[in-house]
Structure 1
Amino acid sequence: MEHLAHYRASVEHRAFRTELLRNFQVSFFAMSRLASFPWTLLEEDLQTNKSSELILDILKQTCFHALCRKFPPSVNYRKRFLTELIRRETVDHAPLDELYDALADVVGAEEKSECYKSYLLPCGDTVSLLENVALISEGTTGLVTWEAALYLAEWALDHQQVFTGRTILELGSGVGFTGITICRSCSPKKFIFSDCHTTVLEKLRDNVQLNGLTEKMSPAVSVEELDWMTVTKEQIKEMEVNTVIAADVVYHPDIVESLVKLLSKILSGSAEGAPKILICSTIRNSETYSGFKQQLEAAGISHHVITGPVRKVFPYNRDSFIEMITLYK
């Protein structure tokens, strides 16, 4: 019995460490807030085992990982991450040389205006994106990934049948996270990324290529400049889309009117019927979001709030109020 109990404890400890390492790795490559890391669990393990083995394993899964060499998070982020690891190293054993060597490498490195964020998919693939370090840059918020894009991607992973074999148009694709995730995991027939800001389109094309998506592969992808104010019903029909998605496009009153007009054109449909439309929003300003719904109603567009839990695949601030709706006439 004692042997069996010891075996069970050993298995549970290995499972605990595997989960802890996975948590650190996922959070590190997505450049999550350092406060969200499971530091307390790490400290408890270090105190119990009096060894730096776990810290070395964390280094191997983060700063020493091949993904970090290819698509590194920002210099400042890696510096702060390593500083936090050093703070938690126990005093009962010699300092871990690898930890200080890693810090020395980033202390002398030059910070850039762009960095990589990488997101690990359940299928084993990774989506890596080149993003701006600043949340607002060059007059746009479209050069970083926002919470609603992550939530919509999680919903897509749980509802892959909505996208499989379909032609999908994404409005306001930004840096491309949601669309790339759907292309990698949901087997669409074709995916059309779109935006209207020149700099965003450049970054979007780079990220699509970075993740190995091309017009000649399956799914076929394209990156299109789409001006919500000037696009015509005929141009939309020519795209022959079955599904339209958008994340975090309802963020300012100035764009709501043009968005609703565009959605009306899309819902005019084709001979095969109107596409399915999914809009996912982080509600930062309730007045702006309410105004959006009011304008939808005035345009004769109804909406239904999609409820139900989704798997927690990606790290982000889940305290944010995110709502996803489907539209119909």
Structure 2
Amino acid sequence: MEEDDVVCLDASFFVNDNYQLTKFSFGSQVLELYCLQSASICMAADYDLTGQLVWPGAVLLNNFLSENEELLRGCSVIELGSGVGITGMLCHRFCREVVLTDHNDEILEKNIELHESSQESQAGLKSEKLEWGNSEQLEKILQDHPEGFDLILGADIYILIIVISCIIFQQCSIPSLFDTVEKILRVRQQGNCKFILAYVSRAKVMDALVISEAIRHGLLVSEVTGTRTIVKNLEGVIFEITCGRTQATGNSDS
């Protein structure tokens, strides 16, 4: 494996493993939710880090949404890879409906319980288990929402980091992610659903794969002007992804 292919994690992620009620500010919006401040590798023999922390991409996405609240008002939203639910909690204040999804919803449910009685809440808020590429789980969600969604949201959701016996393993989930995204986008035949992805660059091979997989699925990828920035020493950007033609050819017009 070449150096550019390695996904690196900041050492500050690996300190302790206790959920704490933590306050976050995004523009004028202040959120409180339970999360890990960081995680201790050596205290966990089998540990999935991805759904327990607030990752840089979530910070990027929430800052973007807090500056563009009009994107959320009155919308139905599904979030992929919700983790602790920090983006869904922000959307909860503006949208008419928010569905948070992840492969592990334990801490997600804990944070939903914390927020569902909030007087600031405007939307129905619920969680669903969804592993990308799992047709049965996705069909269940779409059966409950046959009209689809206005927005699909995702942040830092293209790699799965698992710690087993103090060794970090990375698994690329981009192909199955875009399988799921395409199916949700195409529920809206008139094409008025879009996927807003907060992407944080950690490896050049991943950067290229995100774009190529979107194209292979017949999707159009646009960088949102003015969103490229540095988040926790990493370069991040907001992409807007929509349906292209009715069929994914993988070759477009190039």
**Structure 2 length as normaliser, TM-score?**
0.72
Paired residues of 2:153 and 2:197 also in contact (CA < 8 A): yes
Matching residue's letter, 2:50: T
Which structure has more RCO (C-alpha within 8 Å, separation ≥ 6)? 2
Work out the CA distance in 1 between the residues paired with 2:179 and 2:227: 31
Q: Is the 8 A contact 1:167 1:191 kept in 2?
A: yes
Aligned to 2:87: 178
Partner of 1:229: 133
Do the aligned partners of 2:20 and 2:34 also contact (CA within 8 Å) in 1? yes
Under a length normalisation based on structure 1, what TM-score does the superposition of the two structures give? 0.57
Shift of the 213–196 alpha-carbon distance from structure 1 to 2, 3 Å rule, reads farther
Residues 1:327 and 2:241 aligned together: yes
Aligned partner (choices 127, 149, 152) of residue 241 of structure 1: 149
After superposition, the C-alpha distances for 1:195-253 in whole angstroms (9 at most, x for unaligned) are 012xxx11011112223458xx6311111111222235684364231111100012365
What is the correspondence of 1:52-63 to structure 2 with a 5 Å cutoff? none
Rounded Cα–Cα distance in structure 1 between residues aligned with 2:110 and 2:79: 17
Aligned residues of 1:268 and 1:274 also touching (Cα < 8 A): no
* Contact map agreement 1:195 1:224 (CA 8 A) in 2: yes
Following the alignment from structure 2 to structure 1, what is the Cα–Cα distance between the partners of residues 22 and 40? 13
Q: 2:48 is paired with a residue of what secondary structure?
A: coil
2:138 matched to 1:207? no
Aligned to 1:190: 97
Which 5+ residue runs of structure 2 have no aligned equivalent? Answer: 1-10, 161-170, 245-254
Q: Which residue of 1 aligns with 2:208?
A: 290
Amino acid at match of 1:224: E
Task: Give the alignment of 1:76-115 within 5 angstroms.
Answer: 113-115=18-20
Query: Helix, strand or coil: the match of 1:321?
Result: strand
* Distance 1:146-1:129 versus aligned 2 partners, 3 A rule: same
Please say if 1:127 is aligned against 2:38: no
Looking at structure 1, the residues matched to 117 and 155 of structure 2 have their Cα atoms a distance apart, in angstroms, of 20
* Equivalent in the alignment of 2:182: 264
Partner of 2:166: none
Indicate the residue corresponding to 1:218 in structure 2. Answer: 122
- Contact 1:135 1:143 survives alignment (8 Å): no
Matched, 1:151 2:60: yes
Q: Which runs of 4+ in 1 moved over 4 A?
A: 232-235
* Aligned CA distance change for structure 1 residues 237 and 289 (closer, same or farther; 3 Å): farther
Tell me, what secondary structure is at the counterpart of 2:159? coil
Q: Does 1:116 align with 2:21?
A: yes
Distance 1:267 1:317, change over 3 A: closer
Give the deviation of 1:115 after TM superposition.
Answer: 2.2
Kindly provide the amino acid, as one letter, of the partner of residue 134 in structure 2. Answer: T
Q: Secondary structure at the residue paired with 2:240?
A: strand
The structure whose residues are more often helix, as a share, is 1
CA deviation string 1:96-127 (max 9, x = no partner): xxxxxxxxxxxxxxx8622232113544x631
CA gap of 1:153–1:163, structure 2 versus 1, over 3 A, is same
Q: Secondary structure at the match of 1:205?
A: helix
Q: Give, in whole Å, the separation in 2 of the partners of 1:112 and 1:294.
A: 36
Alignment pair present for 1:142 and 2:51: yes
Give the CA deviation at 1:309: 5.2
Report the identity percentage: 19
Q: Deviations over 1:115-156 (max 9, x none)?
A: 232113544x63112112307662232100011101111111
Aligned partners of 1:130 and 1:235: how far apart in 2? 25
Bigger fraction of residues in strand: 2
The superposition leaves residues 259-295 of structure 1 with CA deviations (integer Å, 9 ceiling, x where unpaired) of: 1111121221335544121111111112022112112
Alpha-carbon distance between aligned partners in 2 of 1:270 and 1:181, rounded to the nearest angstrom: 24
Task: Provide the residue aligned with 1:163 in structure 2.
Answer: 72
The answer (yes or no) to whether the contact 1:246–1:278 under 8 Å persists in 2 is yes
Judged with a 3 Å threshold, the aligned counterparts in structure 2 of structure 1 residues 213 and 153 are, in CA distance, closer, same or farther, namely: farther
